[in-house]
């Protein structure tokens, strides 16, 4: 009986096109080697990467599944999850009507490395490999401009190098930076992104030396996952209250994998304090929540699961139906299936916006 | 559709501690052997649809208080390869929400080949020999 009832519903959803704003094709250091000067390859061989976290190799927290990936995503022919384009097509890109998928490389990219010059060289290599290793073989795979974000000027150089190249969708930062993202040292990134007409994506995680929580390193992976929300709130508050959006009114930020249930109360809280403390931040011309709703987009995966479906709908309404974009996080273990990701209560128009139209508008995809 | 018995494997094909993915009337069903007891579960995870036969089998970890833990029933929980939801293979109930979330279970029996060749459980695609025992799923 269940099967009979579900079929028409699923086939209708299947017809909806999908633009996925967060997938993680995997590259190896060996893939980046052709794009690294010998000086930097030798440096890597001699000194390795110098990320700021407790362990130089592996993850600071054990992931739920090996390589944080779906156990069924290991390619039959060998290699790491999402390292084999043909298997990725079979398991995801061709299984669903994927129009575009934005690649957010997590490692190796050199982001957060203590050696700024190595970090900058790695960013160039990671960007070149996205084009040659992925986009050239499947034009649905759009690249991110990986930048050495702890060095604002070097990031500006890399963004300018990619400006006008339609194969890049956004500039990619991670959420755990060495200082709060509203600080001036990061402003060259925003200035260059606006000049290039690119949104700035902030994907959770990062190895710049800061724990997820604001008060030290948690014990468990479940805390690492949960605290993305508090970490991202601190970044959003900093970006808004430092006046970044007054200086760069065209700047658009995409929060990736951060959830969004925390946004409405954060807006209320900032507005409440702003009413009495606005003399401290006279550069703000509008209520903080207006910047929040105007300049931030969010991705769906992983979204909060409220006991009352209406509560989730209320949160999504507050964030804005034009500002929520589907993400699968393929091949990671907390992957969202395009058919199952959105609450059943969403009507066709809103579903279509979230699944593709909002991303199409933001990224100007034709 | 009325339930009918389907011969899905010989007992030798699914030794203790292993499982086999089979198709019965278009449904993917995974058959487990836990120390000689057979259990059949729908292969589709009720959470988001992951394929349970691609998951690992693990044990039951419980705790009375912080700092104390008890690990029991090794191999009797199957963990979905996607989001890691765990299901008790003996009951189909999920570990985190046993009252509401469970994976459909199908009755399984072991029958001797001598009985099966007489019918009614003849599998069209499956050669049945009188000297073997077979796993029969009611679905």
**Cβ of A339 and B49 within 8 Å?**
yes
Among B48, B49, B81, select the one facing A71 at the smallest CB separation.
B81
Among A71, A333, A337, select the one facing B54 at the smallest CB separation.
A71
Residues in chain B predicted with pLDDT less than 50, given as ranges, are none
- The pLDDT of residue B132 is 87
Which has the closest alpha carbon to A237: A207, A282, A267, A192? A267
pLDDT at A122 over 60: yes
Confidence of residue A332 (pLDDT cuts 50, 70, 90): very high
- N-term to C-term CA, chain B: 9
**Residue A1 vs residue B91, higher pLDDT:** B91
* Residue given tokens 């039951």 in the structure block: B60
- The pLDDT of residue A5 is 37
User: What does the block give as tokens for A197?
Assistant: 């007409």
Render pLDDT for A224-274 as a digit per residue (tens, 0 to 9): 999 999 999 999 999 999 999 999 999 999 999 999 999 999 999 999 999
Cα A5 to Cα A1, A11, A182, A339, B24: the distances in Å are 6, 11, 50, 15, 20
Task: Name every chain A residue with its beta carbon within 8 A of the beta carbon of B51.
Answer: 72
- Residues from A in contact with B at Cβ < 8 Å: 64-65, 70-72, 333-337, 339-340
**Cβ of B51 and A72 within 8 Å?**
yes
Render pLDDT for A271-323 as a digit per residue (tens, 0 to 9): 999 999 999 999 999 999 999 999 999 999 999 999 999 999 999 999 999 99
Measure the CA dihedral A107/A108/A110/A115, to 10°: 120
pLDDT at A6 over 50: no
Among B48, B49, B56, select the one facing A71 at the smallest CB separation.
B56
Which has the closest alpha carbon to A251: A146, A173, A141, A143? A173
Among A71, A337, A340, select the one facing B55 at the smallest CB separation.
A71
- Is B54's Cβ below 8 Å from some Cβ in A? yes
Residues 23-52 of B with CB under 8 A from A: 48-51
Render pLDDT for A63-87 as a digit per residue (tens, 0 to 9): 889 999 999 999 999 999 999 999 9
**Cβ of A70 and B84 within 8 Å?**
no
- The pLDDT of residue B38 is 97
State what percent of residues in chain A have pLDDT above 90.
87
**Cβ of B51 and A336 within 8 Å?**
no
Query: Mean pLDDT over all residues of chain A?
Result: 94
Task: Name every chain B residue with its beta carbon within 8 A of the beta carbon of A339.
Answer: 49
Task: Name every chain B residue with its beta carbon within 8 A of the beta carbon of A62.
Answer: none
- Is B83's Cβ below 8 Å from some Cβ in A? yes
**Cβ of A336 and B48 within 8 Å?**
yes
């Amino acid at each position: 009986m269940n099967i009979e009832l579900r079929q028409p519903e699923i086939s209708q959803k299947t017809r909806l096109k999908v633009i996925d704003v967060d997938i993680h094709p995997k590259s190896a250091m060996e893939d980046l080697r052709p794009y690294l000067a010998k000086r930097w390859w030798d440096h890597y061989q001699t000194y390795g990467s110098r990320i700021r976290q407790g362990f130089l190799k592996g993850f600071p927290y054990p992931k739920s599944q090996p390589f944080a990936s779906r156990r069924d995503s290991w390619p039959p022919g060998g290699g790491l999850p999402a390292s084999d384009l043909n298997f990725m097509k079979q398991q995801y890109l061709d299984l669903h009507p994927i129009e575009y998928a934005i690649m957010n490389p997590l490692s190796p990219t050199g982001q957060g490395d203590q050696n700024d010059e190595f970090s900058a060289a790695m960013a160039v290599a990671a960007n070149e490999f996205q084009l040659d290793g992925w986009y050239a073989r499947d034009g649905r795979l759009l690249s991110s401009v990986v930048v050495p974000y702890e060095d604002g000027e070097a990031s500006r150089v890399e963004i300018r190098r990619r400006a006008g190249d339609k194969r890049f969708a956004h500039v990619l930062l991670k959420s755990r930076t060495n200082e709060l993202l509203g600080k001036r040292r990061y402003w060259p990134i925003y200035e260059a992104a606006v000049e290039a007409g690119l949104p700035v994506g902030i994907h959770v995680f990062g190895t710049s030396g800061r724990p997820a929580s604001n008060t030290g390193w948690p014990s468990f992976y479940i805390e690492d996952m949960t605290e993305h929300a508090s970490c991202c709130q601190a970044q959003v508050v900093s970006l808004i209250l430092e006046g970044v959006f007054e200086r760069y009114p065209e700047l658009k930020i995409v929060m990736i994998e951060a959830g969004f249930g925390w946004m409405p109360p954060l807006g209320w809280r900032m507005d409440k304090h702003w009413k009495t403390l606005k003399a401290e931040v006279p550069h703000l011309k509008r209520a903080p929540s207006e910047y929040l709703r105007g300049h931030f987009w969010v991705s769906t995966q992983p979204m909060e699961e409220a006991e009352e479906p209406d509560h989730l709908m209320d949160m999504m309404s507050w964030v804005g139906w034009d500002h929520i974009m589907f993400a699968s996080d393929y091949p990671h273990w907390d992957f969202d299936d395009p058919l199952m990701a959105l609450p059943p209560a969403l009507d066709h128009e809103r579903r279509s916006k979230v699944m593709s139209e909002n991303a199409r508008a933001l990224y100007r995809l034709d | 559709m009325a339930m009918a018995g389907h011969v899905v494997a010989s007992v030798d094909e699914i030794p203790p501690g292993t499982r086999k993915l089979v198709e019965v009337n278009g449904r993917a069903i995974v058959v487990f052997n836990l120390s000689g007891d057979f259990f059949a579960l729908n292969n589709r995870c009720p959470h988001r649809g992951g394929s349970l036969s691609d998951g690992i089998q693990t044990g039951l970890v419980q705790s009375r208080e912080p700092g104390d833990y008890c690990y029991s029933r090794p191999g009797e929980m199957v963990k979905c390869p996607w989001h890691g939801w765990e299901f008790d293979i003996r009951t189909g109930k999920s570990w985190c929400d046993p009252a509401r979330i469970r994976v459909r279970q199908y009755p399984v029996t072991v029958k001797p080949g001598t009985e099966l060749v007489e019918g009614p459980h003849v599998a069209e695609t499956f050669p049945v020999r009188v000297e073997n025992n077979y796993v029969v799923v009611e679905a």
